[in-house]
Chain A
Amino acid sequence: QVQLVESGGGVVQPGGSLRLSCVASGFTFSNFGMHWVRQAPGKGLEWVAVISHDGSGKHSIEKGRLTVSRDNSKNTLYLQINSLSSDDTAVYFCAKDHSSSWMDYWGLGTLVTVSS
């Protein structure tokens, strides 16, 4: 069955950087686009970034500060977040793309807390 397991979250000081990872299993990772979606405490879902199956296409809500990448040899998706602020405090979910339209499987998420 499809499994997505995020890691890399934690407490980070404002201005710092973090790289989140998402290890995928149960499907052919290199055939599918992948997303990052975040959820601030008590808030709704916010789409963050998407990457195509081969990494050739990428989009994020903040180009340059939020960078998505992938390593298909390791079945792993990444999100690099730079210049962290309190607005970045959230649970970050990775999700499998379907038809470049919806997200059919989600991980349990990893919590990022930006605090001094």
Chain B
Amino acid sequence: SYVLTQPPSVSVAPGQTATITCGGSNIGSHSVHWYQQRPGQAPVLVVYNDDDRPSGTPERFSGSNSGNTATLTITRVEAEDEADYFCQVWNSGSDHHYVFGTGTKVTVL
């Protein structure tokens, strides 16, 4: 099955930039989507199709995807950005058609 690997944790000071990676075999050939999940809440879509933002997602959130790594970047980090972040792809070749990454906990120092 297709595996997406994320770093377990990222720590960042307010106002700085957080970079969250999502590694997968030739992930650049897939469209990658990102979800934010605050403690005790449901996931919220923050980026879709690698680098598009739904209305309501701050411009501080951006995405990229190439080769074997997709990246979610949060600039000018704020306290409210502290959450778990999950990448996701649709993989028709897998029994698990929709695959989530292992998740990254972003801590704002």
Contacts and interface: CB of A to CB of B under 8 A. Distances in A.
A87 interface: no
By DSSP majority rule, is chain A's interface helix, strand, loop, or mixed?
strand
Interface stretch (A18-26, A68-76, A103-111): A103-111
A93 B102 CA distance: 17
Interface residues of B, number: 25
Given A93-B43, A102-B48, A45 B97 contact: no
Contact of A47 (B31, B37, B49, B99): B99
Contacts of A46: 100
A106 B103 contact: no
Interface string B39-52: 00111110011000
Nearest to B43: A106
A95 B88 CA distance: 14
B101 to A, nearest CB: 8
Given A98-B48, A107-B42, A47 B97 contact: yes
B42 A108 contact: yes
A61 B96 CA distance: 6
Contact of B86 (A44, A93, A108): A44
Interface in B88-109: 88, 90, 95-103
Interface string A76-116: 00000000000000000101001011111111110000000
A50 interface: yes
B90 A45 contact: no
B95 A100 contact: no
Contact of A106 (B42, B49, B90, B99): B42
B35 A50 contact: no
A59 interface: yes
Closest 3 CB pairs of A and B: A47-B98, A102-B33, A44-B103
